[in-house]
C-alpha cells in the first residue's frame, strides 16, 4: 500500500463501491450522498480508471484529481473484489527527497570527521613550527603573517564544517532546539550562493529566544528546505529577510523575499513542508502581498528559564 495514501475504497466484483472513506470521495470528486453512482460515472468517463478496474495494464493508474492536478490509483485485487488506494502523484519523488535528506546527515557527519582530523593535525604542526621559529627571531617575524593566515583559514573551514553538521544533524542536549542559531547556520551555508547571485541575506536572530521542543533533525531539515526554496525563487539582486522569534507559546521562523519565477520542480514543497510542519505539531503559512512572499514556520515553543 502506498506510504502516502490519501484515500481508499473497496469495489466489489460488479464494479460497485462497497465502502469508501472521505479521502477517496473528495479526491475523486464523488458525491457524498451518492458515492457509488458518481463513481460509476467517473469510471465511464475515465479510460485509465476503467482499464485499472478491468485488470488491464499496470496496477497503478494516474488520473485527474478533483480540483486539478493528478492522483495515482493503485489496485489490490482479491477474490471478493478490488481495493483501490489513492496516493499523491509525486509520492515516489517525495520519498526520494526524504531518503536523500536522511542520507545527508550521515554523509555530513562522515565528511566532518574526515576533514576535521587532518585540520587538527595541521593546527598541531603549525603550533610546533611556531615554537621552532621562535628560536630564530628573524625567521619567526618573517613567517608570523603566513602562519596567522593559515590558522585563520583552518578556523574558517572548521566553522563551516560545524555549521554543516549542526544543520544536517542538529542535536538538542538541553532538551530544545534553538531555531535562531539553526537559522544563522543555514543562512551561512548558503552564503556563497547568495553572493554569486548578488542576493542580500538579512538574518535577525538572538541566541535562546526561539526555542522549540520539536524533533531537532526534522526541524533542521524543514528549515533547510524552506530557506533553499526561498533562495531558489528570489530574483537575482534582491533581498531575503529571515528572523527567528518567540510568539506566545510558539517558536517562529519568518522568511520574506521578492517573488520570482516559481520553479516547477519545487512545486511539491508547499504540500510536503506543510505536512512536515503539522507532523511536528506546528504550522506553515505562506502568503503573497505587496510584492513580497512571506513564509512563517511556527513550531511548539519552550519557555525561557
Is the same domain home to 111 and 81? no
Cell of 269: 514543497
* Confidence band of 93 (pLDDT split at 50, 70, 90): low
Contact 300, 281 (CB under 8 A): yes
Average pLDDT over residues 172-182: 84
Q: What angle do CA 7, 13, 19 make, to 5 degrees?
A: 35
Q: How many other C-beta atoms are found inside a 10 Å radius of the C-beta of residue 257? A: 22
* Residues contacting 185, CB < 8 A, separation 6+: 163, 166, 167
Contact 227, 189 (CB under 8 A): no
β-strand partners of 298: 252, 283
The number of distinct structural domains making up the chain is 3
pLDDT digits (tens, 9 = 90+) for 249-292: 999 999 999 988 766 655 556 667 787 888 889 999 989 887 89
In a domain, 49, yes or no: yes
pLDDT mean across residues, the chain? 82
pLDDT at 212: 93
Is the same domain home to 163 and 183? no
Is the same domain home to 67 and 97? no
Is the same domain home to 114 and 164? yes
Least trusted range by pLDDT, from 12-26, 76-90, 181-195, 226-240: 76-90
> Domain boundary at 89, 123, 143, which?
89
pTM: 0.58
Positive/negative CA dihedral, 272, 9, 2, 49:
negative
Average pLDDT over residues 200-207: 90
Is the same domain home to 189 and 292? yes
**13 or 99, which is more confident:** 13
> Domain boundary at 89, 119, 139, which?
89
Is the same domain home to 121 and 25? no
Is the same domain home to 16 and 124? no
Nearest-angstrom CA–CA distance, 201 and 187: 8
Contact 239, 202 (CB under 8 A): yes
In a domain, 215, yes or no: yes
Q: How many other C-beta atoms are found inside a 10 Å radius of the C-beta of residue 52? A: 22
Average pLDDT over residues 99-116: 63
Domain assignment of residue 81, given as a range? 5-89
> Domain boundary at 89, 117, 135, which?
89
How much of the chain exceeds pLDDT 70, in percent? Answer: 85
pLDDT surpassing 60 at residue 1: no
In a domain, 34, yes or no: yes
For the domain that residue 228 is a member of, what is the CATH number? 3.30.565.10
Amino acid at each position: 500500500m502506498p506510504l502516502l495514501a490519501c484515500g481508499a475504497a473497496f469495489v466489489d466484483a460488479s464494479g460497485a463501491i462497497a465502502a469508501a472513506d472521505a479521502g477517496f470521495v473528495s479526491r475523486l470528486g464523488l458525491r457524498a450522498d451518492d458515492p457509488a453512482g458518481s463513481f460509476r460515472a467517473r469510471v465511464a468517463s475515465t479510460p485509465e480508471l476503467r482499464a485499472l478496474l478491468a485488470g488491464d495494464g499496470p496496477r497503478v493508474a494516474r488520473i485527474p484529481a478533483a480540483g486539478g492536478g493528478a492522483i495515482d490509483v493503485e489496485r489490490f485485487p482479491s477474490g471478493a473484489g478490488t481495493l483501490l488506494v489513492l496516493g499523491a502523484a509525486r509520492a515516489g519523488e517525495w520519498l526520494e527527497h526524504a531518503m536523500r535528506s536522511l542520507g545527508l546527515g550521515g554523509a555530513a557527519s562522515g565528511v566532518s570527521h574526515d576533514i576535521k582530523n587532518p585540520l587538527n593535525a595541521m593546527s598541531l604542526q603549525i603550533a610546533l613550527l611556531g615554537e621552532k621559529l621562535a628560536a630564530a627571531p628573524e625567521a619567526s617575524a618573517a613567517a608570523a603573517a603566513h602562519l596567522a593566515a593559515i590558522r585563520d583559514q583552518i578556523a574558517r573551514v572548521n566553522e563551516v564544517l560545524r555549521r554543516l553538521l549542526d544543520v544536517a544533524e542538529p542535536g538538542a542536549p538541553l532538551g530544545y532546539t534553538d531555531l535562531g542559531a539553526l537559522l544563522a547556520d543555514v543562512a551561512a551555508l548558503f552564503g556563497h550562493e547568495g553572493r554569486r547571485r548578488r542576493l542580500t541575506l538579512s538574518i535577525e536572530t538572538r541566541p535562546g529566544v526561539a526555542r522549540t521542543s520539536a524533533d531537532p533533525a526534522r526541524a533542521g531539515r524543514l528549515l533547510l528546505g524552506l530557506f533553499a526554496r526561498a533562495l531558489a525563487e528570489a530574483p537575482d539582486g534582491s533581498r531575503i529577510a529571515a528572523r527567528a522569534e518567540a510568539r506566545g507559546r510558539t517558536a517562529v521562523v519568518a522568511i520574506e523575499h521578492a517573488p520570482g519565477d516559481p520553479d516547477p520542480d519545487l512545486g511539491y514543497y508547499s504540500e510536503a513542508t506543510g505536512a512536515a510542519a503539522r507532523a511536528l505539531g506546528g504550522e506553515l503559512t505562506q502568503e503573497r502581498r505587496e510584492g513580497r512572499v512571506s513564509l512563517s514556520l511556527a513550531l511548539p515553543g519552550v519557555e525561557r528559564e
